Amino acid sequence: DADVTQTPRNRITKTGKRIMLECSQTKGHDRMYWYRQDPGLGLRLIYYSFDVKDINKGEISDGYSVSRQAQAKFSLSLESAIPNQTALYFCATSDNARQGPYNEQFFGPGTRLTVL
């Protein structure tokens, strides 16, 4: 079984709809991240959480919200989806052990979201 899972894997929705993307991990990591990927732009950070009570905005958080329901679960919501939120969304995790920010991130399989 994959260590980091995302649901759904693909989603087509309409402008104005609320949608939630879910991420679960079995790696026991405290840190979790949501990124979006657009062609030619690399991965951009939407939100990140260093533990259940610590949630922070990334560089492109407008139009998104998150919920850290447990150490293993981190959900991303689009309250009112718009077409320019069409993208590939990745969840990632990392350990916060003594190496701290040196620790590599582990990515989920991605969710391809299309907003019509």
Q: Whose Cβ is closer to another protein: residue 85's or residue 93's?
A: 93
φ, ψ for residue 76, nearest 5 deg: -115, 130
Binder of another protein out of 68, 108, 111, 113 (CB under 8 A): 108
The counts of H helices and E strands in the chain are: 0, 11
If binding is defined by CB under 8 A, does position 89 make contact with another protein? no
If binding is defined by CB under 8 A, does position 90 make contact with another protein? yes
CA atoms 26, 69, 5, 110: torsion sign: negative
Binder of another protein out of 53, 59, 84, 98 (CB under 8 A): 59
Candidates 8-16, 18-26, 43-51, 73-81: pick the segment binding another protein (CB under 8 A): 43-51
Q: How many other C-beta atoms lie within 10 A of the C-beta of residue 97?
A: 10
